[in-house]
Each structure stands twice: as structure tokens, then as C-alpha cells.
Structure 1
């Protein structure tokens, strides 16, 4: 295939032009590299290379101004803003940067399109004055409205002073550079009367560019080559040729000179396939599959380009590339904001941007767990990061001070100071901490330099970034706090990339849409061809209203869409194999349905479009319940558990799910004790249990009275506070949800004591027999050749009017029907229905075997969320024709029936032939 660049060079050669004496001006530097590579194909002898520059470089040369970064522009503009604004009305630099960004873009557009500045700014001011009458009906304007209108009235003053300030320093933004270039054009022409310029591959031109090119053309100092197909040019509604049609019609040069060129490449036969693929990762994976199949046909993948509509796909695509790709060139850089170091500094700025004496524990753990920070806490082969994290978990610390961190790990004071101390004092100190941190990480990585080359490159780029921050702060001194430093850091970071080294002219090319300008490829894969991505859709990041833009011929979203259309169709012009991918999953944040470009291709009916919906192969994996066979070691572990004792809770755990029993009792896997930011239900339950234990333990063996219980009520605050501190460690209970939970705990205890007083006042006699009684008993099971022990702690045992009661406290809600059974056989089959009955029967069974109680007894639950129901007694229901008869007394018969079910359950647990089988949840 021939390329546009080759055709231009051939045409110039045929006109006997001396290529070495020409100045080629292209839309991008990258296109210049390809042009230089094509020179040998049209020149039969050795020649000096011509001057090849981008349009930005050419305009900068004309203007004699140096382009500066957007961030430095903000600092320069803030100087102007401060000079022209009263001190009491001045925004902070952080606030200023939010609206100044938009205003600078408008300045840029106004200058690039040579709009009379005073006219448009006066126009904007008048519009705001008119709008004010709509949303403010007051005759006397408020201070806010006066300041608002004053801002719009000052726009022209801001512009005039700002541009004057920049011109004095010989620096500028793109628009100002373009305007100055136009001002200097006559001088340039006079000084360079023999320079011949060749403009090629341009499409949408701003007014400055049009003026410069037309002036050079009229003075016979330039040629211009357009790259547009007749298919688009001759269709008045096709946006791919919107700008070239305007140029041909409006430029006086083309009334007497040929319009080069209208080509006929697009209508030639092409293989076009569109693929609808779910999600961005799906597109990346499919690009890898396509390249793999293409490599089998073309081993070098020469003249193949992957064009990413959404540049966020770069890393997924790189990960999906076939391993056997040898030559690869990546035009776009890897964004620094996607590097792990970026979120480390973001996390540090986040915790320091608001001055505070303490840090949230999750923020501390996030920083210390970072891959570059964790090794710095490893001192003398001791992992102090783990020590700090374990201390936070064990003591339930939600907020930590720097001194507390130093107490936990005094050997890590240096790194703790770098990460958590002194940031808020001065900006210089905050930056110094960042430099020292980078140096500390570098010292660690230098220990194994060969394995850490990429990480060291990351560090170098971030060191450069912080050097720029330090330079800007020293030069302008507008950064007053860490919050502002954070904003500027993010601004700088957003534009920084880590460039790849590759083969710019060989093998596979991976690029963004703008990098494809002027270039031609035989095989093209375009990703993310969705509305909102290609084209990008409507956006109005400007202070200039839409109708004002139309009036002044400034570009709107309509022109922006036409630019995307041109780039998309230009990629297709000379290509033979085209693969267009789009995301089938509509997402309002990253693009909607398939792009209008795909629909347009189909409606044109020029090429046959092969359309497919691609779905990943998802194997059907049948859900299978986990089964653990009982081998010799497992049976030995079971014998050990049996000798230590089965508790009612461990047995009900087996009933709920045998796999849970296996994990907890055999493998001894415990849940990790996370920090409780809000008091957990089990902590609340422990506090209430321990408080009642303190109240009732001194009363064991005696009858209680209403007066005794009343006296206990005065101690509720003290006891509940003590036990919260004991259980919740250093957690905060004086505010927020935890204060509510603390009050709930006091209310639960108070309500329980009130219920007790009410019961006693009703004439009932209560004698405390045991509180938090530990029970241990051996169970005789002849079928097993090893001892079986049952263990358990009973919350309370008392005598109520002579009847022994076994009471279990529950802080959750329990209803009477949850402590009733009909058939004994069901006791060990349904956890939800019968677990509470099983638990209280276990206590009664153990105490009976120990001889601690005489049957019959009552056993049941006191539910703190259902105290109005009183003591919820266990009951055996016998169904009759008219309902159910309930027996609330636990007799010998009930104990014997329970014993049968209990032994069967233990036999099942210990049976080597019955595996631990997971139950469906």
C-alpha cells in the first residue's frame, strides 16, 4: 500500500523540488518521524534531511515566545489576579485554580481564533448583567451580586494585564503564541523570502493557522496537501470533510490554484468487521486474540496499528498482547497517576491536607501496607509494620497520634516522622518529607538494583515532579497549605507520563486517536468506538455561552465531533483490514451505546460490514458442596477436641454447617479480629453479661429483694463504662453511633433490673444459685473408645418460688416459639428453629449429670430485645386435636430424650465413615 506521506513526497519530487531545501510542517512530531523514514524511497541519491517540524514548533518560532505548562500558567495568572483584586475579595490559590483553569481555556480559544478580546468580554459582562435581573429581583444589589458582576467586568482587564505580563517574560500559552505568530508573520516573510514550506495532513484549523498558511500560500512560499476522500468531500452532510469543504470554498488561494488532494482510496475494497464485546477488559482480551491470529499471517505485524479510543485501555491491552510479539512501539506514555507511587503520595496528602493531631487507623494501615513503605519498617529482621497493625487490632484503636505510633514501634521513629509528622507546619517541610521518603525508598531498592529498575524509574519521575513543585513554590510562593499543595500535585500528575522505549518504525504500533494523524496502516484495530468516547459527546467547559461561540465562530461540540469523524474515517481511507470494537455494556461514565460512526458505516452501504457480538467463554461450573473425609489425623484431632470438651455452641455450629465445625474445631481457624469502629453485637453482649455478673455474683446463695436490686441501679453507669473500656479497649464511645450503643447497654441493664424488681414486688421469691457457672461433665458413649466431655458456662441459675431455673441471656431478639419443640428427632436437624432449645437443654443436661440441680427444672432465655415477654421457658409441645399442649418442666423423661439426640449427634461427628459435608446456606 502507498501512504499519504509517500504520495506527497512523490508529487514534490515529480515537480523537481529540492527536498533538502523544504520545510515540512505537520500536525505532530510523530508524523515527522515517519516522513523522514519515507525520504529514501523517493530519493535516488544521498541528500541532506529537510527541516521537519510540527505546527506548534513552527508557530513558536514565529512568535519568539516559549510555551509553558498549564500549571505554571496558573501561577502566573494568580500574580495578575492578586494585583487587580482587593485583598479582602481575593480567592485562595486552591479556589482560584478551579475557575481559572476554565478562564485560561477561554483565553486560549479567543486568541487562537483571533476574536477581538474587548468585544467578547464586554458581551459576556452584558449577558451576566441581564441574567442578574432574572435571578435577583432586589433593587439594591447585594455584596455577593456586586462581586459577581465585578468579576465579569474585570475579565478584559485580567486578560490584558496577564498577556502583557507573559509577553514581557517572552512566555505564553498556545493561543497567545498563535496570536503573536500572526503579528510577526510579515516580518518572518520579509526575513525568509526564499523558504519553501509544505503543510500536509491538516484538517481543522484555527483562525491563526488559517491566516498563517494562507499568507504563505499567497506569497508563493508554501504548498498545502489535504488528505480527504471524494466520498466524504462530495457528500455535503459528511462531517469528515466539514473543514476541508470550508477551506476550499472560503480560501481565495483555491480560486486560482488546485486543491490537493481529493483521493479515491475509501471506496476501494476493504474487510471491515465490527465486534460488540462486553466491558473494556473484554475488548483488551479480544485485541490480544486478534493480534495472535494476525501474527500467524504477518509475522512482524508490520503496517498494523492498535488505536485506542479510550487510552485507559493501554495497560489491559499490553497485558493481553501475545508473548511472541517482537517489535512493538507504544506512542502514548504510561500515566504517572496509574503508578503505585501515585496513590502513596495521594494517601499522604489526603491525611495531611486537614491539620489534625490524630490519624484514622485505616489511613495509617493503607500507608504502611504500601509495597514501597512496608520494607522500610523492617528493621533488624523485625516487621514493625505488622507490630503496629496487630496493636491497632488488639487494642481497637480507631485514631492514632504520632506519639502513639512511636510508642508501639520506637525503632521506626525516622520513617514514622517522614510519613506522619510535621507536614502541616510549612510547605517546604512537607516537600522535604516527600524528598526524604523518595530517598529512603531508593536506598532500599538499590539493595537489588537489577530487580528494581522499573521501580527506580518511577522514583526518578516522582522526584522530578516534586522538584517542579518545589521550584514553583519557591518562584511564586502561592502555595500556603498542604491542601493547595495536594491540588497542584494532582494537576502536575495528570499531565505526566512515563514514556516507553520501542521500535518507532517497526512492528506493531499502539497509539491514541490523535497520534494516528497523517499516518496510514494496512491493518487497523480501533477500540472503544462508543458514543461518549468516539465521538466524545457534548461538553461545555467554558464561561462563553453556546450562542456567543456561534456568533464569534468559536468551535462548539459540533466542530469537535467533526474532528473525531475526520480522524476515524482517515484511519479507514487506505486501510485494507479494519477491526472496530465497541463495548456492549452501556455505561454513562465511560460511554453509552455503539458509536454513530458504526451506524454511519452501515448506512453508507459502500462496504460490506461483518458484525459480530463476542462473548467470553464462561465454563459452567456446577456448584458442589465441599466434603472432608475423616482420615487418621482428622480422627486424632477429633479425639483431642472430645477430650477438651464439646460446648453447646460448637455442637450447634455442626448442626448449622459441619464445614464450620471442621474449620473452627479441627483446623482451629478463627475469624480475624478487625477494629470495631462501631461496637459489634458480640461486644455489646459481652459488656451486658459482664455487668450482670458483677451485680449478681455477690448475691449467690441468697434471696434477693427489690431494695437490693434498686441499689444496683446506681452502679450501672460505672460498671457498663468499666466493661466497655475493658472490651472495646481504646475505641471511642463518647460520640456518634458508639455513644448510642453505650446508652443502649445501660438501658438494657436498667430494663432487666426493673423487670426483676417488678417480679419481686409481685410477691415472687428469687434465690440466686449460680452466676456464670462453669460446667464440665463426662458423657458415657459405649460406641466410642475414647472419652467425651461436655463443657459450658451458664449465665444464671436461680430458684423462682422454689423451682430451679436455668437462664441464658441473649442481647438479640428471641421469641417463645424459638424455645419450643414438637419432635425430639428434629432437635439436631434445623439450626434456625431449634439451636436455642438445644443450647439450654445442654446446660440442663450437664448440670443434671453433675448433680448440681434436681429435676424437674425450668430452662429458658431472657431476651434483652424482648424483655416484655419475660422469661422464655423451654417447652415440649404435644399436638392434640384442639391445638398443642405445652410442658414447660424439664423432667427425667425430657433429659433422657435429649440424651438420645445428643449422643447420636456426637456419634455422627466422630463416625469415621461420615465425612464433614457442607450444607447449602
Structure 2
């Protein structure tokens, strides 16, 4: 394989030798210029002055009197013109989205030299469509008629009328916007291109050039391109250029030329100072049925080459379509069921290429490229490159938006967005606060203060944090302060960046003194520097902006950060090449590994986001989807045309919007061009069969038994009814919670969840009945309580203050969601009182009755037990042991054994709990008669009686069941402490549904 650029270097060095420096080579990208110079050095074999190497964009910029305008500055400028022309008071926030769309449209209009006045013409009625169309082509006339005939808003929707109203001002907006840019000597790219092209079409480019190569053209006293009358080096006095004696521009590897580019190329061709070389060796790009061929014939006809390049078989190129190939390109198409999986498979491909000698020197590997249509796979790919390949050159860079400092700025934007004022203080939403506190750059800068503040927020359930509650740490004081105007954002962010940068610098110094690596710190500092520059740049551009919100300014900053890449260090002409699709233009590799070969990714499915309707875009020659499709087709077929080995990896997953479909290019290769390629297909199938999940169990080792001893009599730990239920449900869950003391991480409660709801209800009932302790409660008493809404409101506010707001002594009126939950609680309290009437008169004995006592299981085992009985009443000669439950459940059971059977899907564990309470109350008061009751709040309006029943018969004396209950209860406790019985998983997987530890068990 002879690379295209090598052929160019070979031909021109043979023609001009040491005089080659007088010429300027124009490429589609800078990377192509690096490779060209590399090949030129190899061919020369000695030092020589290099010719000038520029891109087509740089050439236009060098010929233009304008400077490139900043996008943000243009948006502000365009917004001002829009407000003046339309009279609209639309905010910059609302304008931003379609303002960007208009900038793109104006850029296309100029780059493709469309007649803006006719394109944005104001159509009042059908007759006006035939006015002043003399300067348009028939295609453009038909496009205008077809669009406006179908669109005329008379009698149509408001949307159409609004579109026409906006359309009416577009030409004036376009003209006045460009006029201001011209006045400031600024331009967007399309405007710059058009200005150069129009001057070229008018017969002369005499504006000062910025590129050094231009100064060498023709008359040295006259900058820019020379015309025929001013050339000092005319041979034979005829005004014709002598090709071998004069400098020239050589355009290499271009393809999809815009009308502005065509105009410039036509001009330099007519001046006799240009030559053109097209990378059209691939037979596929000459196939008229292939979209890649769209511009081939026209380019070859318009801009022929001076010299003939040799193709791969030694034949002249010259646009021939029958060029044979010495050997077929090997193409392997590999389906991988994930994006990261593709990156990991790159390792195997590279090792195979090294092993086969296809990469002869792994230290260099410059003959191999990894192409990433999806830039998100860059980091996974870099982590997947084997150690054998030491040098890697990444063309793509790493997006600033992916950096940790960018993530911190997004958290800060969210913080400022959600600030509210209350009682004269600024309040910060806890989720935004915690996100910032947990960010590594903040945490490492203020560890002690961050930990203290996080603990304070969780302990006090602070949904919002006031500015007075933040510790006096400089960084925290810089971050957690409210911004009142968008102008303040820039200095605010720069202060934060400066502080973090200085902190990292101090940390770097410490590490250097200790001899540790500082690369991660260096990278973070570089990102901070780049972000600081971005903020300063935005600040400079927005100094004249008006009517902007904080959110819009933060959004602009985020958008700007997304457009910036921090370049990786590396030698561009050495090592494995990792690049995007556009970076491959004109460059050839023997080994190509292309990832994300999925339809919609490569070729990219990116519809034109434009205010100009498709019909008009097409009629006026503006780019549409077919243009993009042809461009990508050319890039693909050119890329693989000289490769020996091509690996195409695609994602086989079909999830959400992802189809898992391989790119159309693969099917074209397979069915249209099988004579040119040896194609193989395979799918990398991971073994997704679920491996046998081994049961998880914990043997009672001496250490585990030592921890269990804490529950024995005299120890510091206590068993409870809920822990016994945990053990019956799942012994392993009991081990995690009771023995190891594991628990779910505390979170700030934004809503009143079920456990908190239950705690507040318990507090309400306790407070209500505590006034009647040792007194007789009658129906009249219950009725009076239920009617006393002022009392209930006061109790609700106190309960919320204690359990939810965590400010027991500061009750406050309930508002919003809290008010609604309070009303629900009020209704439950009233219905509970109504249910209690059926047991009146009764004596209220106590609420929240607590016991902590040793319990003797057998001669060798006594354990500590504790519990809280929600309520105890005396009805006649019987004491009711009452338990409140916020959910639903059963009050009936068939036999005592059911309470201890963990295999049952609906084990009545609530009944076991109330039996345990009765057991320990009976130990303290052995002569009383006990009957259990459970109040289920969710069914309290429909269930007439909360009494626990056995086979539908109320239990009036629990002592009847106690012998059987004690036997099973003691067996359960003995099992817990039996060293021979491990803690095992439950056999009832329904118990795992809401278990916090199910991932540990692979359930």
C-alpha cells in the first residue's frame, strides 16, 4: 500500500526538489499536513525547507479582511437586532435556542451563496410568488411556489401565522446583523467564505493575506493573489505562469466543495497558480449508484490534476474506475453487545495484529488507526490498549465537559438555580449542597468542615440549609453564597477555581517532596486553567448582553465547555493513532479498527436543525440530509480504500432507541462489492447464562459466636421482636443487621415516609391518651377529643417538629405537602378514636411501654430482650396489648406454628410481635389476663375490630396459647445461638424483594 499523501510528496519532490518550499499545500485538516511532511522527509532523505502547509479554512481566513467572530458574542448581537426589528420583548433565554439555529442558517446561506433576499422573501399572497423571480433558477422558483402554496397561512393555524410573521423579518435581521459584523471587522465562517468568493468572482483578491505563503505570490509589493497584469515573473511576456518557475497552491484531498470554495478554486485555477489532487482511487467512489460519488465527476472535470499519480497497480490515477487491486482488503465485522465491550475487544485485535506481524513495531504502530465515530468511547478505548503499545497519539482530545471541574460547575449551577429566601435568610437545597460537598475537589479542600456539615444535615434532617449554617471555611463561603445577577457569575466562579487550583498546587508540592506521582493533580490543574479561560472568554463576550437569567448564563458556560477539548500530549507522527472520522481524511493506514459501526452512528443520523424548511433548503442548494449522507459515504470508502485489514465493530444491543443494526456500509460491501473485499462476520457472544448461584451462609466461627455473646444476659446488645422476625424471614439478614450492625445509609427525608408517618402517629396517640392515664375513657371523652381540631392541630405541629423537622421546641404551622399529610394523620386519629368506642368504657393503662429485661431460654442460655408496647388498655378484667401498624396485615391465624414458619409467603409476623409483647408483659405482671390487638391504619376505616383472632375467634386470654408459643419461641432462640447452625439465606425469595442486602446474596 502506498499512501495517497506519499504519492503527492513523491511527485512534487521529483518535480521541484529543494524549491518545493515555494509552494503551499492546502489540505482538509491539519493532521493530513503532518503526514505529508513526514512522507516528504522520508523521500528527501535529507534536510530541506518545508513547503507551507495550511487547511482550506486557514486559506480563506488569510484572504479575508475579517476576524472570526465568537459565537456567544454573535448570539448577543443577533438578539439585540431581533429585539429592535421585531419589537419583541422575548428574553434572551427564550431566544437562545432558535438564535443558534438562525446562526447556522445564515452560515449555510453564505457558504452556499444563496440569494438571501429571495430565500427570505415575504410572500403576502399567491400573486406575490410570481413577482421578481427573474434572477432565480427554475428549480428555485419551483421550490418557492411549492412551499408557499402548501403553507399559505390564510385560514390556517396560529403556528403557521407565527412562522410567517417571524419569516418576514429574517432578511432584515440577516442584513443588519451582517452589517454590524462588517463594521466591527468580524465574520462567521460562512460570511468570511462568501466575501472571499465574491471578490474572487469579481476578478481579484487584493485584500491583505495573513498567511506567509501568500506573500510569495507574484508581485511582492502587492499582497494577496496576483492578477495577470502585475506578475513580475511572466514568461515570454504573455502573462502566463511558468509552472516550473513560479510558486503555486496545491489543493489536496478535498471533496464536498461548497459554492464559495468552488469560486475560490476557480479563481486560482484561472490565475494559473493552482493544482488539484483528488483522493478518488477507490472504485466505490466512482460508482454512480454509491452516494460517495456525488461530487467525483464534477470535481475531476472542474479541477484536473497537472501530474498523474500512480495507483496501487502502477496505472495512472486520473479518475479511472477500473483500477485493479493487488489483493483484496480483509474486512472483519464483529458484533459486540455493548459499547465498552467493543473497546475491550480492541485489546484482542491489537494483540493479534502484533502477533501476526501486521504491526511490526508495537512501539510505533503508526500504520494502525482506531477510528471512533462515537467520541464517548475514547476513554474506554485508551484503557483497553495493551501495554505492548507504548506510544499513543490521540487526535480527538478530551472534552472539558467530561472533567471533574466541569461536573462541579454543573452542581454549582443547580445550587444557584434552587436558592430560595425564607425568614430573611437564603436557603440552599440539601441535594445540591450534598452533591457539592461530596465532590472530590471540594472534599479534599475542606475535609473536616465537609464531614461536620454532612453530619449536621443528616442528623437534623435539613431539607434546606441556611447560609448561616455553613462552616467558616473559605471555599465553602465562596461557594455557598447567593448570586443576584448573572454578571456576578464570572467572578464567583473564578474565585472558586482559583482557590481549588491553589489547594491542588499545595498538594502537588507535598507529593513532589514525598517523591509521589503528581500526574492526576497536573491533569486536574490543567482542566481548571482551561475552565478559567472559558469563563473569562464568556465574560468578555457578554459584557454588552442584557435581559439574561442566571440559568441562561450557566447554560452558555456549559455549552462553551462542551466545545473545548484539552489536547493529550503526544507525538502526532508516532505511535498508534486514535482519531475521529473527520481526522482520517486523506490519511491512509494498513490496519483500521472502526468502532460503533451502527446505523445512525456511522453514518451519523443527524437531521438538519434549521428554520429554513426542507423544500426551500433543497431548492436554494443549501445542505440537506443527502449532502451529509454523501459526505460520510465518501469518508468511509476513502478510508478503507488502501487498508489491508479493516475491523468493524458494532453494538448488537437493542435497547431504548438503539436498534443494534449494523451500518448500511457493511451491507453495501457485502452485496455490491464482494469482488473487492474478503468479508467475514462474527458476533462476540458473552456467556450470559446465569451461573449457579451458590447459597450464601455464615458459619458461626469463634468470632461470630463472640459477637453473639453480646446478646446474652449481661451483654450490651438486645434482641427484639422485630429481630426475631428478621431471623425467621432470613437468618442471613439477621446476621447482617443484628450481629454485624449493618444498616442503610441515612438520607435527608424530603417526604414523610411510612416509618416516619408511623412514628408521628404513635406520638399523637401517646399524647392524646397520656392525659387519661389510670382514668376511665368513655365514648363522650373520645368524641370530644375527635371534635377538638385545635388540639389535634397543635399536637400535629409538635409531632412534626420532633420527628420530621428535628426541632422539638420549635413547632411551626404545616404547609403544602406537610399540611396534606397532617390531614391524613388527623383522619386516622379520628377513626382510631371511633374504633376505640366499641371497647368503652376502658381504662388507659399506658402508652409506649418499654421493657428491657433478661429472658431465660434454658439452663445454659439467657438473653437480653427489649421492646416498646404501643398501648395497653384494661377492658373489664382483661388487658389489651395494642400494636399500631401503618400498613395492612392479618389479625387472624390458624395455628401458632404458622407464626414461626418462614417459608410461608404471608406469614403473620405482626401477630408474632404482639405475642412477644404479651409474653414479656406477662413476665412482669403474671396474674393479668391479656388479649392482643393490632390496629392497621390502612384498613382501619373498613375493619370493625382490631382484635387478634385464631380461626376467626377472638383471643380473650393469650395464656391459652402461651405454652405452645414459648416452645417454638425458645427453639428459635436456641437455634440462633447454636454454634452448629450457620446463618443461611431464606428459602422464600419473596422476602428478598425489599431487602437492603439482596445484592450481597445475588438474589
TM-score by length of 2: 0.84
Residue 554 (structure 1) aligns with? 622
Equivalent residue, structure 2, for 1:897: 964
State the partner residue of 1:54. Answer: 55
Aligned match of 2:90: 91
Q: In structure 2, do the counterparts of structure 1 residues 98 and 234 end up closer, same or farther at CA, with 3 Å as the change threshold?
A: closer
Tell me, what secondary structure is at the counterpart of 1:362?
helix
Determine the structure 1 residue equivalent to 2:101: 102
Q: Which of 423, 430, 441 does residue 372 from structure 1 map onto?
A: 441
1:746 corresponds to which of 823, 826, 831: 826
Match of 1:650 in 2: 723
Match of 1:662 in 2: 735
What residue in structure 2 maps to residue 881 of structure 1?
A: none
Counterpart residue number, 1:524: 592
CA 1:135–1:914 in structure 2 vs 1: closer, same or farther (change >3 Å)? farther
Alpha-carbon offset, residue 589 of structure 1: 5.0
Residue 470 (structure 1) aligned with residue 539 (structure 2): yes
Which residue of 391, 398, 406 maps to 2:456?
Answer: 391
Alpha-carbon shift at residue 739 of structure 1 (Å): 2.7
Select which of 635, 642, 656 maps to 1:574: 642
Shift of 1:647: 2.0
- Equivalent of residue 166 in structure 2, options 132, 151, 154: 151
Q: Structure 1 residue 507: deviation in Å?
A: 1.7
- Once the two structures are TM-superposed, the CA of residue 211 in structure 1 deviates from its matched residue by 1.7
Give 1:232 deviation, angstroms: 2.3
CA offset at residue 44 of structure 1?
Answer: 6.0
**Superposed CA offset, 1:809-853 (max 9, x none):** 222223333xx1325376354574231222222222222222354
Residue equivalent to 1:840 = 914
Q: Distance in 1 between matches of 2:913 and 2:418?
A: 52
SS at match of 2:253: strand
The aligned counterpart of 2:405 is 341
Q: Structure 1 residues 388 and 587 mapped into 2: Cα distance closer, same or farther (>3 Å)?
A: same
| 1:718 to 2:794 alignment | yes
Measured in 1, the distance between the counterparts of 2:497 and 2:303 equals: 59
Tell me, what secondary structure is at the counterpart of 1:245?
Answer: helix
CA distance in structure 2 between the aligned counterparts of 1:578 and 1:799, rounded to whole angstroms: 86
The 1:83/1:684 distance shift into structure 2, 3 A limit, reads closer
| Closer, same or farther: CA 145–615 of 1 in aligned 2, 3 Å | closer
Give the secondary-structure state (helix, strand or coil) at the position aligned to 2:334. Answer: strand
1:321 to 376, 379, 385: 385
The aligned residue for residue 508 of structure 1 is: 576
Moved more, 807-816 or 8-17: 8-17
* Partner-residue secondary structure (3-state), 1:873: coil
Shift of 1:399: 1.7
Q: CA deviation at 1:478?
A: 3.8
1:849 is aligned to 2:923: yes
2: CA distance, partners of 1:742 / 1:75: 50
Q: Which deviates more, 151-160 or 570-579?
A: 151-160
Give how far 1:122 is off: 1.0
Once the 2 structures are TM-superposed, how far is the Cα of residue 243 of structure 1 from its aligned partner?
Answer: 0.8
1:152 CA displacement = 1.6
| Equivalent residue for 1:427, pick from 486, 499, 503 | 486
Cross-structure match for 2:373: 309
Deviation at 1:574, TM superposition (A): 0.6
Q: Which of 458, 483, 487 lines up with 2:555 in the alignment?
A: 487
**CA deviations over 1:568-607 (Å, ceiling 9, x no partner):** 1111111001101111114565675111000101012122
**The one of 412, 429, 433 aligned to 1:360:** 429
- Residue of structure 2 equivalent to 1:418: 478
TM-superposed CA distance for 1:47, in Å, is 3.2
TM-score (norm 1): 0.91
Structure 2 residue matching 1:871: 3-state secondary structure: coil
* Residue 456 of structure 2 is aligned to residue 441 of structure 1: no
Q: After alignment, is 362-371 or 255-264 more displaced?
A: 255-264
Q: Partner of 1:613 in structure 2?
A: 683
Task: Tell me how far 1:514 sits from its aligned partner.
Answer: 0.4
Q: Give the alignment of 1:657-806 within 5 angstroms.
A: 657-713=730-786, 714=788, 715-729=791-805, 734-757=814-837, 759=838, 764-784=840-860, 786-806=861-881
The verdict on how the C-alpha distance between 1:365 and 1:415 changes in structure 2, with shifts beyond 3 A counting, is: same
Match of 1:293 among 336, 346, 352: 352
Task: Tell me the equivalent position of 2:526.
Answer: 457
1:269-280 equivalences in 2 (<5 Å): 269-280=328-339
Alpha-carbon deviation of 1:256? 14
Alpha-carbon displacement from aligned partner over 1:407-433 (angstroms, at most 9, x marks no partner): xx2x32x33332121422x33432111
Residue matched to 2:604? 536
Q: Does the Cα contact within 8 Å between 1:229 and 1:266 map onto a contact in 2?
A: no
Within 1, Cα distance between the matches of 2:392 and 2:303? 45
Judged with a 3 Å threshold, the aligned counterparts in structure 2 of structure 1 residues 672 and 49 are, in CA distance, closer, same or farther, namely closer
Secondary structure in 1 aligned to 2:908? helix
Taking only aligned residues, the RMSD between alpha carbons, in angstroms, comes to 2.8
Contact 1:277 1:613 in 2 (8 A): yes
Q: Does 1:170 align with 2:185?
A: yes
**Matches of 2:898 and 2:78 in 1, distance apart?**
84
Asked whether the equivalents of residues 812 and 864 of structure 1 are also in contact (C-alpha less than 8 Å), the reply is yes
SS of corresponding position for 1:163: helix
The 2-side partners of 1:813 and 1:61 are apart by 79
Distance 2:632 2:385 in 1: 27
For the 8 Å contact 2:10–2:40, the answer to whether it is kept is no
Please say if residues 285 and 638 of structure 2, whose CA atoms lie closer than 8 Å, have aligned partners that are also in contact: no
Structure 2: stretches of 5+ with no match in the other structure: 130-143, 206-224, 232-240, 309-315, 422-426, 513-517, 990-1003
| CA contact 1:233–1:245 (8 Å) conserved in 2 | no
Contact 1:813 1:865 in 2 (8 A): yes
- What is the CA-CA distance between 1:795 and the residue it aligns to? 2.1
Q: 1:111 to 1:671 in 2, by over 3 A?
A: closer
Say if 1:646 and 1:30 are closer, same or farther in 2 by CA, change over 3 A.
Answer: closer
Using the TM superposition, give the Cα deviation of residue 54 of structure 1 relative to its aligned residue in structure 2, in angstroms.
0.8
Which residue does the alignment assign to 1:2? 2
Counterparts of 1:15 and 1:124 in 2: how far apart (Å)?
58
SS at match of 2:844: strand
Distance 2:281 2:304 in 1: 21
Q: 1:749, 1:286 → 2: CA distance?
A: 63
**2:65 match:** 64
Aligned to 1:875: 949
Paired position in structure 1 for 2:998 = none
Alignment of 1:192-211 (within 5 A): 194-211=246-263
Q: Find the residue that maps to 2:333 and give its secondary structure.
A: strand
Match of 2:992 in 1: none
- CA contact 1:271–1:578 (8 Å) conserved in 2: yes
How far, CA to CA, are the matches of 2:615 and 2:898 in structure 1? 82
Residue-by-residue CA offset, 1:511-549 (whole Å, 9 max, x unaligned): 000000110101111111111111112502112222222
Equivalent pair of 1:276/1:582 in contact (CA under 8 Å): yes
Q: State which drifts further: 747-756 or 347-356.
A: 347-356
2: CA distance, partners of 1:590 / 1:336 = 27
**Aligned equivalent of 1:880:** none
Deviation at 1:684, TM superposition (A): 1.3
| Cα drift, residue 723 of structure 1 | 1.2
Partner of 2:270: 218
Deviation at 1:200, TM superposition (A): 1.1
Any gaps of 5 or more consecutive residues in structure 1? 878-884
